[in-house]
């Protein structure tokens, strides 16, 4: 009975406390009356607080009574004021520009005093990085992107029409993305981080989940390097208080100011070199404690950033206790322009309810992100009560307008009208781009390929039409799973053979089933080294028919799944009837090139002898891979494991089954590999590598299509992968014995070219690669390549060294696309 009364009493107190939360609202402006965006309002010595919106408006709920609030913004003098609730529920706050007084500091060698201050901050860097201990906090993030300028048409797309569907004005301007999210984060510095999304809202889409991620705004300048946004730079940015910061920055002492008895030192940060991943702007240091109070940094084109023109970073810390300061707000403002489009926007994060905790188990950090399926179901009343940053009038209008548009866009009548317009048949467009029929209401589509794009040429079939039709239907909206069925018909006009195949991909939860069958013409090298379009062009224009083909009638099945512990498994089974094909034409655009054409036998290019006899092959395979990552993200559709910092390993076994369904093959092939892509080396770029070893433990009956093939190349243009050799024959060195191949590429990320004035504007990245192959057919073969990469295009010079005289000391130039 006493326990019941106690629980009732505590419940009464909780309800009374909640009921006494009184809303306080106001505006923050400068002395001239202009709004100060995203100013921070915090109850002293607590993590209770909020931020103003873009227009300077804020709201904050506090219990009845007296409160001392501090209002701060980077570059302004903080203001402390006392508020008594409920007597006063509205505030108009003005902040004056911060005035930093220059003190006369004399150092013997006339060094700017900023350097000594930065040295002290560097000495305390690791202490503040590791000092905070495990903590939790609540994070609110708002993201907004606005289209400022756009052309009327872009590559045939009517932007005016598209803008109306997106809710833009007649000038194609307006908000294109507005999202809010709330998350609880648990952090164990310096690296362990877990985020649980509590609520999510996207303007105009009540089914999607916000792209806002607290982890991506967790910029810690106490770390030596920061990866601000993926892809923003090929190398991480150097913190102005990194251990080696003085090799990259110059510093200028700008003065001090007093903030409630605490002296704040303002220091200008100046990059020593252009085209390096460096910040410029101001850092504010607490005198005596040498901790960061705030930063106001800019990265722009002089920092060789990608996809945006400029990014302004502001971060403000607040004291949680006498000895502990934590981030209060983080704000990223960006501008970008490309091909007639101009975009601007921001992401802002507000941190509240900090709590230092005892970790129940460090295994909780295996789940880096958790998003449950109902987080986007919170209604407008919930958001009005819980969002710490008020919406601006423009944002309120956008939510109303986009939600109305979304309801219209999801109606059957609207979807049918869009489909009727989209499904109009246009003969000229069909010839090149094909035709798509879509039913948005049923969530299905059929795509017919463009006949002109289906044409190719080779010396085995002559002119070929390889025409495809694809059907797709969404079968699970929660998991975003689609049933895909692809059919293809192939006819060679020279050899007059008609082939056809079909393939169905069926996803089921975390598994995927693929069933295929039919008859097709395939490359003898199953690595697909030579793209069919390039082979067509080389054959027709230069008489160089590098690709060698055969015909296969087959039925195949595969299954793949991710097992607990992030072990991936795949099983394959196939039965095939394989037939070698001779050349059927010697046509080229110029008769003088006909003598260059070779037979469809890569081992005997001067004679059209069959490479292998007709045979039947039944085989099964099983593969396992593991990348040592136990960190994952949980979405409504399932888990997604994150890449590990360690290399991934894999093993695969293939068995050729003798006498099964009249199968002729009899072999056992075991391969093992290790690989890692884009392993960061910090400021020194990144490295990728792979190594594979294998052996036919039994090769009683192996036909050429079953050989282990390698990714070779003999033309100027390379469809490059990490495993690509740049000067190796496509077919000659395939093996039915044992092999070892290894590849590595080092990307310096502009470390050298950024120091050359005329080159730095191109944002070129330097490449160095090494490749090695050993087999009984080749003994030892090695390649070295060096080159430059601009965006996705590469220009490379390669040199080979081999015991085979035909491959030894080959020097060649290659143009490639980056595909890994």
**Tens-place pLDDT, residues 507-566:** 887 789 999 999 999 999 998 778 899 999 999 999 999 999 999 999 999 999 988 888
What is the greatest pairwise CA distance in the chain?
105
pLDDT, greater one: 232 or 502: 502
**Tens-place pLDDT, residues 3-35:** 333 333 333 333 333 345 778 888 888 888 888
Spatial distance between the Cα atoms of 480 and 509, rounded to a whole number of angstroms: 10
Q: Which residues of 486-513 are buried (b: 16+ CB within 10 A; e: fewer)?
A: bebebbbebbebebebebebbbeeeeee
> DSSP string covering 98-139, please?
P--BPP----TT---HHHHHHHHHHHTHHHHHHHT-SEEEEE
**Tens-place pLDDT, residues 316-341:** 998 887 778 888 899 999 998 877 78
| H or E element that contains 327 | strand 325-338
Strand-strand pairing, 341-356 and 686-701: unpaired
Residue 690 has what pLDDT?
97
pLDDT, greater one: 407 or 128: 128
Spatial distance between the Cα atoms of 695 and 702, rounded to a whole number of angstroms: 13
Is the model's pLDDT at 177 over the cut of 80? yes
| pLDDT classification of 478: cutoffs 50, 70, 90 | low
Domains along the sequence of the chain with CATH: 2-95 (2.60.40.1120), 113-408 (no CATH), 456-463+478-664 (no CATH), 665-820 (no CATH)
Residue 295 has what pLDDT?
94
**Tens-place pLDDT, residues 605-655:** 998 899 999 999 999 999 999 988 888 888 877 788 888 889 999 999 999
Q: Give the position of tokens 């307006």.
A: 174
- Is 544 strand, coil or helix? coil
Average pLDDT, the chain: 87
Show the CA angle centred on residue 411, arms to residues 405 and 415, nearest 5°: 95
Asked if 236 contacts 277 with a C-beta cutoff of 8 angstroms, the reply is yes
Average pLDDT rounded to a whole number, residues 734-761: 91
Q: What are phi and psi of 241, to 5 degrees?
A: -120, 25
Asked if 567 contacts 426 with a C-beta cutoff of 8 angstroms, the reply is no
| H or E element that contains 35 | none
Residue 206 has what pLDDT?
56
Spatial distance between the Cα atoms of 470 and 486, rounded to a whole number of angstroms: 4
Question: Smallest Cα–Cα separation from 711: which of 459, 458, 531?
Answer: 531
Show the CA angle centred on residue 230, arms to residues 226 and 236, nearest 5°: 30
Distances (CA, A) of 820 to 651, 720, 787, 789, 792: 21, 8, 16, 13, 10
Distances (CA, A) of 402 to 205, 212, 248, 398, 583: 8, 19, 46, 6, 60
Residue 3 has what pLDDT?
39
Q: What percent of the chain has pLDDT over 70?
A: 93
Residue 47 has what pLDDT?
67
pLDDT, greater one: 517 or 104: 517
**Hey, which of 193-197, 227-231, 258-262, 577-581 has the most confident mean pLDDT?**
577-581
Q: What number of helices (H) and strands (E) belong to the chain?
A: 10, 43
Spatial distance between the Cα atoms of 353 and 140, rounded to a whole number of angstroms: 11
Exposed / middle / buried, residue 591 (Cβ in 10 Å: 0-12, 13-18, 19+)? exposed
Exposed / middle / buried, residue 106 (Cβ in 10 Å: 0-12, 13-18, 19+)? exposed
Residue 14 has what pLDDT?
37
**Tens-place pLDDT, residues 639-697:** 888 888 899 999 999 999 999 999 999 999 999 999 999 998 988 999 999 999 999 99
**Hey, which of 21-30, 200-209, 405-414 has the most confident mean pLDDT?**
21-30
**Tens-place pLDDT, residues 34-77:** 888 888 888 876 667 788 888 888 888 888 888 888 888 888 88
Is the model's pLDDT at 582 over the cut of 60? yes
Residue 95 has what pLDDT?
86
pLDDT, greater one: 434 or 97: 434
Assign residue 791 a region: left if phi > 0, alpha if psi is -120 to 50, beta otherwise? left
| pLDDT classification of 713: cutoffs 50, 70, 90 | very high
Whether residue 245 is preceded by a cis peptide bond, meaning omega within 30 degrees of 0, is no
Is the model's pLDDT at 274 over the cut of 70? yes
What pTM was computed for the model?
A: 0.85
Is the model's pLDDT at 387 over the cut of 80? yes
């Amino acid at each position: 009975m006493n326990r019941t009364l106690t629980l009732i009493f505590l419940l009464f107190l909780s309800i009374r406390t909640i009921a006494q939360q009184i809303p306080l609202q106001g505006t923050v402006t400068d002395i001239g009356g202009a709004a100060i965006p995203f100013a921070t309002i915090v109850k002293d010595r607590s993590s209770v607080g909020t931020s103003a919106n873009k227009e300077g408006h804020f709201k904050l709920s506090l219990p009845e009574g007296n409160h001392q609030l501090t209002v701060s913004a980077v570059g302004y003098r903080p203001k402390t004021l006392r508020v008594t609730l409920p007597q006063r529920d509205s505030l108009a706050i003005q902040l004056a520009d911060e005035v930093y007084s220059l003190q006369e500091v004399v150092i013997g060698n006339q060094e700017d005093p900023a350097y000594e201050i930065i040295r002290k901050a560097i000495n305390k860097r690791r202490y503040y990085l590791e000092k905070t201990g495990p903590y939790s906090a609540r994070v609110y993030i708002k993201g907004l992107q606005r289209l400022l300028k756009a052309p009327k048409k872009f590559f045939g797309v009517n932007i005016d029409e598209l803008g109306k569907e997106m809710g833009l004005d007649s000038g194609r301007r307006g908000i294109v993305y507005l999202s809010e999210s709330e998350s609880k984060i648990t952090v164990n510095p310096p690296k362990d981080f877990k985020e649980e999304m509590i609520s999510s809202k996207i303007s105009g889409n009540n089914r999607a989940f916000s792209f806002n991620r607290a982890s991506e705004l967790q910029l810690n300048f106490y770390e030596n390097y920061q990866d601000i946004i993926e892809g923003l730079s090929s190398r991480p940015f150097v913190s102005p208080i990194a251990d080696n910061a003085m090799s990259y920055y110059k510093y200028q002492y700008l003065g001090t100011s007093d903030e409630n008895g605490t002296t704040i030192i303002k220091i200008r940060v100046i990059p020593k070199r252009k085209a390096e991943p460096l910040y410029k702007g101001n850092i504010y240091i607490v005198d005596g404690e040498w901790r960061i109070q705030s930063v106001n940094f800019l990265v722009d084109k002089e920092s060789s950033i990608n996809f945006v023109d400029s990014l302004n970073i502001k971060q403000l810390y607040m004291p949680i206790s006498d000895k502990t300061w934590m981030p209060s707000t983080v704000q990223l403002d960006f501008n970008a322009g490309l091909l007639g489009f101009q975009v601007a926007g921001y992401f802002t994060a507000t941190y509240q309810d900090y709590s230092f905790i005892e970790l129940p188990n460090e295994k909780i950090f295996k789940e880096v992100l958790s998003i449950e399926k109902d987080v986007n179901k919170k209604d407008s009343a919930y958001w009005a009560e819980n969002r710490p940053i008020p919406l601006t009038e423009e944002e309120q209008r956008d939510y109303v307008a986009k939600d109305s548009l979304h309801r219209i866009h999801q109606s059957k009548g609207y979807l049918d009208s869009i489909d009727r317009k989209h499904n109009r048949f246009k003969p000229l467009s069909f010839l090149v781009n094909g035709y798509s029929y879509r039913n948005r209401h049923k969530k299905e589509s059929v795509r017919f390929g463009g006949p002109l794009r289906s044409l190719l040429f080779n010396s085995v079939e002559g002119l070929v039409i390889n025409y495809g039709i694809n059907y797709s239907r969404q079968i699970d909206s929660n998991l975003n799973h689609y049933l895909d069925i692809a059919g293809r018909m192939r006819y060679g006009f020279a050899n007059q053979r008609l082939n056809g195949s079909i393939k169905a991909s069926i996803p089921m939860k975390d598994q995927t089933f693929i069933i295929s069958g039919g008859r097709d013409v395939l490359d003898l090298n199953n690595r697909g080294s030579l793209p069919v379009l390039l082979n067509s062009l080389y054959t027709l224009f230069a008489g160089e028919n590098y690709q060698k083909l055969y015909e296969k009638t087959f039925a195949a099945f595969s299954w793949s799944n991710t097992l607990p512990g992030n072990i991936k498994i795949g099983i394959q089974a196939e039965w095939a009837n394989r037939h070698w094909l001779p050349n059927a034409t010697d046509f080229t655009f110029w008769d003088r090139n006909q003598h260059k054409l070779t037979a469809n036998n890569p081992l005997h290019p001067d004679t059209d002898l069959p490479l292998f006899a007709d045979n039947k092959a039944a085989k099964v395979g099983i593969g396992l891979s593991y990348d040592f990552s136990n960190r994952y993200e949980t979405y409504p559709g399932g888990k997604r494991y994150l890449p590990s910092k360690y290399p991934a390993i894999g093993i695969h076994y293939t068995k050729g089954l003798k006498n099964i369904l009249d199968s002729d093959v009899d072999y056992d092939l075991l391969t093992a590999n290790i690989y890692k892509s884009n392993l960061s080396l910090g400021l020194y770029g990144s490295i990728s590598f792979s190594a594979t070893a294998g052996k036919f433990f039994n090769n009683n009956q192996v036909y050429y299509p079953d050989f282990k093939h390698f990714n070779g190349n003999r033309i100027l243009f390379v469809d490059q992968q990490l495993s690509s050799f740049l000067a190796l024959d496509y077919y000659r060195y395939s093996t039915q014995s044992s092999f070892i191949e290894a590849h590595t590429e080092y990307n310096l990320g502009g470390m050298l070219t950024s120091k050359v004035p005329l080159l730095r504007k191109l944002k070129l990245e330097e490449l160095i690669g090494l490749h090695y192959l050993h087999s009984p057919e080749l003994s030892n073969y090695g390649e070295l390549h060096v080159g430059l990469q601009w965006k996705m295009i590469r220009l490379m010079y390669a040199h080979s060294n081999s015991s085979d005289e035909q491959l030894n000391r080959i020097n060649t130039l290659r143009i490639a696309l980056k595909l890994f």
